Amino acid sequence: MRTKNYFLIIPVLALLSFGCGRPEEGSTRAVIQNKGSDTLVNVAQAWAEAYQTVNPNVAVAVTGGGSGTGIAALMNGTVDIANSSREMKESEKVDLVAAGHAPKQHIVGYDALAIFLHPSNPINEISLQQLKAIYGDGGTIEKWSQLGVTVPGCDSDEIVRVSRQNNSGTYAYFREAVLEESDFKLGSRDMHGSKDVVDLVMHTACAIGYSGLAYASDEVKMPCVVSEADSPCVAPTIDSALDGSYPIARPLFMYTAGEPEGAVAEYLNWILSNDGQCIILGMGYSPATTPTCSAPAM
Amino acid sequence: MSSIKPKEIAHLDRRDFSWYLDRSVQVLMFVGGISAVIFIIGIFVFISKEGFSFVFGRFDVVEFFTSLNWRPTSETRETFGAFALIVGTASITGMAMLIAIPFSLGAAIYIGEFATGKTRESLKVLVELLAAIPSVVWGFIGLTIMNGLIIQLFNVPVGLNVLNAGVILGLMAAPIMTTIAEDALKAVPDKYREAAEAMGATKWQVIVKVVLPAAKNGLVSAVLLGIGRAFGETMAVLMASGHSINIPGSVFDSVRALTATIAAELGETAVGSDHYGALFTLGIFLFLITFIINLTADIMVRGIRRK
């Protein structure tokens, strides 16, 4: 029965070949694996592309998937840099140390968390307390009339809460900064990406949503946000996120396992350099430093 | 009795090229057939292995099946109540069947009993083409076109709801249901129709009184496979249902499906955590339900063959 053996080999080989698709690291070219936050993925991509001209010997491979994914990959040792739109949790730090990679945190920029409303919504300012009563578990605001407005096109008066899936960095930051670590009210529409939040709010008169400022479009309205009762209302802009006056702006992180070395260290230094910071500014985020950009970037 | 000479043995041995070809194709077919079974068992073992740490640890049956509180990443207290997710999946599947059953049965009866020649062939191709549209495209239609349409038509606050997801899923399940239902109608022997027509029955009477009852089992199994399709669909549901933990009071309420929850959350979950185990437990639950549905469909199809 020799034939039997031969023909068993073919499907087995076919199956094995699926596992061999990963590109091998070139001998002369260093590859930096970079994965994580969807908020940061566009910036990370722009950095990776621009770095090609700075140092052609280093290729940076960028993947999204979410802050948690990046940190998990760092733990498994499959990436060199994890992008995160939230600070690493204590439990994750403990896990990383246990896996032998004490994490090192690098702040690469800031992002204002904008509140989105339908353009026909008359609300121009909103307070953190109101947001907590809208989104938080046990919060009492369910109707637009409770905020003193009637929204044209929203006959039911119901506030349609648009949120994110429960393990996104944006979700975690909103819970920390607005809900003060308490739970979200059940029944929000949990979108799978910042872009979907903007899309839904744009088409839904009753809706309210939140996401990074860089995802804002002309077809949604962004109210200014009041943190305390008598404090001024601050609009979400690149400047207000940078100077700290906007109450819900978050740092954007890159994590490495241990102190970065070699090509990774050079790459991170370049990101924090004038050139690198002008790129993040050009993408609609606030830089971590105050770079002097010759032309308005991009 | 003289023994057979070696030369004659060689003559009897017919292992030539076509013999080898025959054997090898036979082996290839066997591997193909058995691999499906191996993969299914492998998948079930994998899902169970990942889910069991949760099932035997943090799992609380009462909470899982009765609580609305699906809060796997809470900072205060993690809860894993899947009741709303189960109701969500059931309501979307129910809505999808309300739409798919009339459509697909109507299409199957038209294709099988009325259409002839070119009409029939092109209709069959078109129906099968409908099954080839990727689910993310359906989801996108739900998210962009249907959302606005439902808001305008029914004047409701948001168009991502049971109705939207049900219509999308109904259209996705209809092609497979049509194909199987049409096969079931075709399996009814022509002599039944001829006998009925000879008795003076009209076309309508032939279909309603003779063909449909005779094809009953096949039609039910077509519906069950459609339910299985709708039940297991992920991407389109994630995009069109609103993905909101909610017990629907009407078709205009947003809901969240089991499959969509797994798809949205698994990617960012730390491997081995309670949340990870809970998602795999949802997977075990889905697997068992789909298995029961498909098994029922299969037993019913066997029912027609035996006749």
Those of residues 74-93 in A touching chain B at CB distance below 8 A are 75, 92
Per-residue pLDDT of chain B (307 residues; tens, 9 = 90+): 555 666 666 667 777 888 899 999 999 999 998 998 999 899 989 988 888 888 888 788 888 888 888 888 887 788 899 999 999 999 999 999 999 999 999 999 999 889 888 999 999 999 988 888 998 899 889 888 898 899 889 888 888 899 999 999 999 999 999 999 999 999 999 999 999 999 999 999 999 999 999 998 889 989 998 998 888 888 899 888 988 898 998 889 999 999 999 988 887 777 778 888 899 999 999 999 988 988 888 887 776 555 5
Reported as a single tens digit per residue, the pLDDT across A134-192 is: 999 888 999 999 999 998 888 888 899 999 988 788 898 999 899 988 889 988 998 88
Cβ of A188 and B159 within 8 Å? no
Reported as a single tens digit per residue, the pLDDT across B236-273 is: 998 889 888 989 988 899 999 999 999 888 877 777 78
Reported as a single tens digit per residue, the pLDDT across A197-233 is: 998 898 888 999 999 888 888 899 999 999 887 788 9
Cβ of B270 and A183 within 8 Å? no
Q: Which fold has domain A22-108+253-287?
A: D-Maltodextrin-Binding Protein; domain 2 (3.40.190)
Domains A22-108+253-287 and A112-249 share a fold: yes
Q: How far is CA B236 from CA B92, B140, B141, B164, B232, in A?
A: 11, 7, 9, 10, 11
Is the Cβ of B195 closer than 8 Å to some Cβ of chain A? no
Is the Cβ of B73 closer than 8 Å to some Cβ of chain A? yes
Whole-angstrom distance, CA of residue B82 vs CA of residue B99: 26
A62 three-class SS: strand
Residue to test with chain B: of A1, A3, A12, most B Cβ within 10 A: A3
Lookup: tokens for B61: 């049956």
Residue A253 above 90 pLDDT?
yes
**DSSP letter at B242?**
B
Those of residues 200-239 in B touching chain A at CB distance below 8 A are 238-239
Those of residues 141-180 in B touching chain A at CB distance below 8 A are 143-144, 147-148, 151, 155-160
Cβ of B71 and A69 within 8 Å? no
Is the Cβ of B23 closer than 8 Å to some Cβ of chain A? yes
Whole-angstrom distance, CA of residue A123 vs CA of residue A131: 13
Is the Cβ of B10 closer than 8 Å to some Cβ of chain A? no
Whole-angstrom distance, CA of residue A187 vs CA of residue A171: 15
Which residues have CB under 8 Å from B280's CB, separation 6+? B47, B50, B51, B54
Closest CB from A4, A168, A189 relative to B160: A189
Q: Are A118 and A128 in contact (CB under 8 A)?
A: no
Q: Residue A42 belongs to what H/E stretch?
A: helix A41-54
Residue labelled with tokens 């770079």: A291
Whole-angstrom distance, CA of residue B73 vs CA of residue A182: 11
C-alpha B262: how far from chain center? 17
Give A189-250 as a DSSP string. Answer: EEESSHHHHHHHHHH-TTEEEEEEGGG--TTSB--EEESSTTSPPB---HHHHHTT-STTEE
Which residues have CB under 8 Å from B12's CB, separation 6+? none
Q: Residue B79 belongs to what H/E stretch?
A: strand B79-80
Q: How far is CA A171 from CA A43, A53, A197, B113, B183, in A?
A: 20, 35, 12, 55, 49
Is the Cβ of B78 closer than 8 Å to some Cβ of chain A? no
Cβ of A95 and B270 within 8 Å? yes
Which residues have CB under 8 Å from B204's CB, separation 6+? none
Count how many pairs of residues, chain A against chain B, have C-beta atoms within 8 Å: 119
Is the Cβ of B278 closer than 8 Å to some Cβ of chain A? no
Q: Are A266 and A223 in contact (CB under 8 A)?
A: no
Closest CB from B23, B244, B264 relative to A188: B244
What does the buried/exposed string (b/e) look like for B50-80 if buried means 16 or more CB atoms within 10 Å of the residue's CB?
A: bbebbbeebbeeeebeebbbbbbbbeeebbb
Q: Domain map of chain A by residue range?
A: 22-108+253-287, 112-249
Q: Which fold has domain A112-249?
A: D-Maltodextrin-Binding Protein; domain 2 (3.40.190)
Q: Are A92 and A71 in contact (CB under 8 A)?
A: yes
Residue to test with chain B: of A92, A191, A208, most B Cβ within 10 A: A191
pLDDT of residue A7: 46
Note the ipTM here.
Answer: 0.74
Which residues have CB under 8 Å from B197's CB, separation 6+? B206
Among A99, A276, A150, A236, which residue's Cα sits nearest to residue B271? A99
**A256 - beta bridge partners?**
A81, A104
A181 Rama class: left (phi>0) / alpha (psi -120 to 50) / beta: left
Amino acid at site A184: F
Closest CB from B148, B265, B271 relative to A166: B265
